[in-house]
Chain A
Amino acid sequence: MRIPLADARPFSRQLLRGRILRLGLAGLAVGLVLAALLVSLRLDRETRSFLPSGTGGVVVLDVSTSISQETHRQIADVLGDAARSGERFGLVVYSDTAYEALPPGTPAAELQAFRRFFGDDAPAGRFGQPLTPWVRSFTSGTKISTGLELGRSILRRDAIGEGTLVLVSDLEDDQNDVGTLTETLISLRREGLPVRVVALSPDPKNKRLFEDLLPPGSVAEAAAPGSADTTAQVVASKPAPTLLVVLALGALLALAAN
């Protein structure tokens, strides 16, 4: 109910100014909320694009002896995610040496054929140890550089200019390979060939080394086995979304002022 005031007219300018101010603040708050929404949607898309799109992605998969049963499940999750992505990948499998399991441009669904060796329903030995096709004659020490070098040579061979190497590994490297690995990463950087790492329950020291050697945001940790989304931890390894926080705070202030 409105109470009519006899002397309302002298306040009409203030009333108008207050109304404009409130409308302006409301508009500002709505604008900031919309901007925050847009920023958050973009964040989501960046997270999911950790596996490269197009035909230039080569997954470099670690099947060395350092890969434990837990990390086997993580590999299953990562390969499952990649298989569902609808993209195209090549696959390099490495331990002490490396070989090309799938050429670049292979439909991602073909990765399902490899996923079955790593999941809970994978064949197991007498003591529950995973029995992959590589365990008897291929699985040995770990030389990450061999996998990356082969990935690079495959991309060169197929003349894929904008390729990406995705290393899926626990990052445990043979100590005699660290020097060669460093040189490999340096030469990949010089060639402008991006390397992304999906780390499988890595030793923090090894993870930090890769973070130091690669550009920021190149290393993501695979989620623990059983987690709904293997890319969930990618968000945690990225810098905090400062813009989103600023927009949200701005919207809050505009609402409070209103």
Chain B
Amino acid sequence: MRPVRGAVAAVLLAAAVLLALLGEDVRRWPGRVDEGDMRLAAGATGPGLWEPEDSLPLRVGADRMGLVDDLRYREALRLVRLTRLGLDTLDANEVRRRQSRAENALALVQDRDADATRRSGAATMRGVLLYEDALSTGSRSTDLLERSIAALRRAVELDPANGDAKLNLEQLYNLQPPRQQKDRAGGGGSTGGASYSRPGEGY
């Protein structure tokens, strides 16, 4: 009986160690996210800002911790920040690639995040980036301008309290050629713009 007891004790000990390591990993996750946020706020833009830097042998993983949405959103913010850096020194292709990655990351947040407010925020930023794309692009800018408007409208649909999206949408509508403005004005309640807000509240 003694060898059996010994084996059971060893298995239980191993299980306890495993559980302790997993528990420690879970305990450290909020700190890791905060540290990454601080690094981003301090100006760091390198990849993996929210990756664990400690050397725990076992990891629960961000997906099992339910952090995928949070980290995806943060990664999108990092990529947006990258689009603001080195504009004077980078070649135009690299600037476009950065813009492209940021737009894609924001679209992922807009499509997949569980939080409607955050989805709306991502759509707002995407609308702004698309507008910048439209400004810097030549012949096909109309298409990008329409996509920018669509992203901002989506932002307002997702979160009617998103004032930034409404303001940006209003600005964009004002920048459109007169004919399109007329079309918009004649569209009634379903076309967006002021119709997103209650009567008397403007955009």
Give chain A's interface residues, CB within 8 Å of chain B: 175-183, 185-186, 189-190, 205, 209, 212-213
* Contact present for A177 and B92 (CB under 8 Å): no
* Contact present for B100 and A179 (CB under 8 Å): yes
Tell me which residues across on chain B come within 8 A of A205, comparing CB atoms.
Answer: 93-94, 97
Nearest CB in chain A: distance from B38 CB, A = 25
Nearest CB in chain A: distance from B5 CB, A = 20
Q: Which 3 pairs across A and B sit closest by C-beta, in order of nearness?
A: A179-B133, A178-B96, A182-B100
* Contact present for B143 and A178 (CB under 8 Å): no
Chain B's closest residue to A185 (CB) is B104
Q: Given that A183-B130, A186-B107, A190-B111 are contacting pairs, would A176 and B137 also be in contact in the complex, using a CB cutoff of 8 Å? A: yes
Give chain B's interface residues, CB within 8 Å of chain A: 92-94, 96-97, 99-101, 103-104, 107, 111, 130, 133-134, 137-140, 143-144, 147
- Cross-interface CB contact of B140 among A180, A185, A186, A190, cutoff 8 Å: A180
User: What is the total of A-B residue contacts with beta carbons within 8 Å?
Assistant: 52
Tell me which residues across on chain B come within 8 A of A186, comparing CB atoms.
Answer: 103-104, 107
Q: Given that A180-B144, A183-B147, A190-B111 are contacting pairs, would A209 and B138 also be in contact in the complex, using a CB cutoff of 8 Å? A: no
Nearest CB in chain B: distance from A150 CB, A = 15
* Contact present for B107 and A179 (CB under 8 Å): no
- Cross-interface CB contact of B97 among A180, A185, A189, A209, cutoff 8 Å: A209
- Cross-interface CB contact of B103 among A176, A179, A189, A190, cutoff 8 Å: A179
Per the bound structure, the CA–CA distance linking A63 and B193 in Å amounts to: 43
Tell me which residues across on chain A come within 8 A of B104, comparing CB atoms.
Answer: 182, 185-186, 212-213
Per the bound structure, the CA–CA distance linking A185 and B108 in Å amounts to: 12
* Contact present for B143 and A213 (CB under 8 Å): no
Q: Given that A176-B138, A205-B94 are contacting pairs, would A213 and B144 also be in contact in the complex, using a CB cutoff of 8 Å? A: no
Nearest CB in chain A: distance from B98 CB, A = 10
Per the bound structure, the CA–CA distance linking A181 and B133 in Å amounts to: 12
* Contact present for B103 and A175 (CB under 8 Å): no
Chain A's closest residue to B95 (CB) is A175
Chain B's closest residue to A172 (CB) is B93
Tell me which residues across on chain A come within 8 A of B133, comparing CB atoms.
Answer: 179
* Contact present for B143 and A180 (CB under 8 Å): yes
Known: A183-B144, A205-B93. 15 other contacts (CB 8 A): A176-B139, A176-B140, A178-B96, A178-B97, A179-B96, A179-B100, A179-B130, A179-B133, A179-B144, A180-B140, A181-B100, A182-B99, A182-B100, A185-B104, A213-B100
Nearest CB in chain B: distance from A213 CB, A = 5
Per the bound structure, the CA–CA distance linking A189 and B110 in Å amounts to: 13
